[in-house]
Structure 1
Amino acid sequence: MKISIANDHAGTEYKEFLQKYLTDLGHKVTNFGTDNSDSVDYPDFAHPLANSVTNKETELGILICGSGNGIAMTANKHADIRAAICWNEELAALARQHNNANVICIPARFVTQELAQKMVDTFLKTEFEGGRHQKRVEKISC
């Protein structure tokens, strides 16, 4: 699977951890994030990732910052992006099943790397259920 990943300074370690994990599984990972802990502006990284998913250059995206809020707000400004902040595996599954989320947002200051890995696994393996959820998802885009 082609996956995009991006982060701000608070998510660099998580990004490196997840990028290696996903690459080892055979996924093609495109890095749009910063590669160090110097303070940066998260929109500078969230916008390119959102564009990559919107343009179908990558299938799904992973955004990582301290709280998950700023990157989610930024990504969700893009048409056809449904970015979901997740802090446990159940939310990651529901984001895909019910909302057809195409970007998972991870709050690095509030979850462990191991939990982030489990959430990403769940997010990537879970399919959209469609059905009654389809019309709701269609109403998200204005």
Structure 2
Amino acid sequence: MVLPQEVTATDWTPEAVEAMRPSVEASPWGGLANPHEALRGAHLFTFADGGQRALVALRPVVFGRGTRLDVVGLVSQGDRLHGAAFDQALMATARCFGASVLAMTTAREHIERQCIRQGWERTGSVMTKAIHV
């Protein structure tokens, strides 16, 4: 796998899992999963470009007709991410996985807006209803 120069495969450590906690807690899934559960099966990468730095967790999901690469964790650790540079690196990384689709579920409107600016499409809505037993 030849990753773009801004992207480095990173080992999961307890500190990396903990760094992902804010991303996991902001999930629209209502906090059902702890970080270990939410990130299971994901590969961890560091994106670095100038002062921009982020950890991104990507989980490939393989189907009979192709691979979807899910962004299951994203935490900025430096300057605010420039959408275009990050998106280009993410696309190149997705190609390394042979992915035909990138997917992300987010409850953060600023991330949604940035994705739309970079050509991502809103393909539906996540509807949830808490069931209290």
Larger-Rg structure = 2
Q: By the TM > 0.5 criterion, same fold? A: no
User: Which one has the bigger helix percentage?
Assistant: 1
More strand by share: 2
TM bin (shorter chain): 0.3 to 0.5
